[in-house]
Amino acid sequence: MPLSQINQKIILVLFLVFVISALYILSANKEKYSDTFLGNDNSSITNVHPGDSIQQAINNTSPCGTVTVYPGLYKENLVVNRPLIIISNPGETNNTIVQAADPEEDVFNVTADNVTISGFNIKGTTSKAGIYCSGSGGNITGNKLSYNNYGVYLNDSNRSILENNEVNNNSVGIYLRNSSNNQLKSNKISCVGIFVGLDNNATGIYLEDSDNNKLMSSTISKLWDGVNLTDSSNNELNNNSILQNYFSLSLINSNNNKVLNNTIEKLGYSYSVVLANSQNNTLQGNTASPNTEIKVFYSFDSKNNTFEGERYTVNEQGSRCVYRER
């Protein structure tokens, strides 16, 4: 066979090998990047062990990825600026502690949408929040938040879920400001007790300029101010236990709220519910301690509120209400 033909065949074989190799590499890279985007590749899952930095893991994990933190004490102030799932190793909430390195800053500062924070023991900020969230669509579940100024602070945050959190001994347990369409479910919020000292003025749940939220199946107890709605309308409080607080439930400049099927046991202040300049609210199916009534205090400017179900004693102060007892 002439040498020129042999050279042509060698060149053809080498070309075919090159083409096949290139196609294989492209296919492998496509699969890799697809899995990373979907969160199925190891590169989008970062494990953090004691001695590691959670913040570094957050920075190095691709959006929509997962950061799993193993038990230990982590002294950091964390900034979450991308959608992530940040969780403790399952079942290790008490022992996975994130403590503020700087007590003047938030422990978790969440600025991104669609962030999950679950399973942490969060504490140690004297001025800010255990979890501060200005993103929407978040999921804050199964955390313990204690000895912070705010346990959880939602600011301009919508469509988030706060569920199964233990929020103890903070100045304000859960604070919503300019935040709407959030769900607070099955949280336990308490303090050391209102008679420990005169400086104890802690609040359990405080909504300010926040509408269309649902507060459900939570326990709020042993605080100065149990639940306070200020300039907040169209919210629903359903099946909560508001127990042994000095002020149980206050609605101030808040309209069209529904207070349904709650247990309200007052301690200290003469009235269970305070309505100040608040209209068209409905209280239905609420109960108090055995053989007692739910006492409601009205300001002059509170009108057209409706009470249905259990016995209410109303000090109207010149206001108008609709009262129905079944």
Instruction: Please list the rounded mean pLDDT of every run of 10 residues in the chain (326 residues).
Output: 57 59 52 36 80 97 96 98 95 90 98 98 96 98 96 98 97 97 98 53 95 98 95 98 93 97 86 93 88 79 84 60 40
Cα angle vertex 277, ends 273, 281, to 5°? Answer: 60
Q: Are residues 273 and 204 in the same domain?
A: yes
Question: What is the maximal distance between C-alpha atoms in the chain?
Answer: 115
Q: What's the structural domain count of the chain?
A: 3
- Nearest to residue 129, comparing CAs of 154, 111, 112? 154
Domain encompassing residue 125: 42-171
User: What is the structure's pLDDT at 27?
Assistant: 52
Q: Are residues 196 and 310 in the same domain?
A: yes
Q: Are residues 66 and 91 in the same domain?
A: yes
Determine which helix (DSSP H) or strand (DSSP E) holds 60, and give its type and residue range.
helix 54-60
User: What is the structure's pLDDT at 225?
Assistant: 93
Q: Are residues 96 and 159 in the same domain?
A: yes
Asked if 144 and 168 touch (Cβ cutoff 8 Å), the reply is yes
Determine which helix (DSSP H) or strand (DSSP E) holds 29, and give its type and residue range.
helix 3-38
Residue 176 lies in a domain: no
Q: Are residues 227 and 114 in the same domain?
A: no
Q: How far apart are the first and last CA of the chain?
A: 108
User: What is the structure's pLDDT at 296?
Assistant: 87
Q: Are residues 271 and 304 in the same domain?
A: yes
Q: Are residues 120 and 15 in the same domain?
A: no
Residue 179 lies in a domain: no
Residue 177 lies in a domain: no
Q: Are residues 271 and 303 in the same domain?
A: yes
User: What is the structure's pLDDT at 312?
Assistant: 75
The reply to whether the predicted model has a pTM over 0.85 is no
Residue 184 lies in a domain: no
Structure tokens at 318: 């010149």
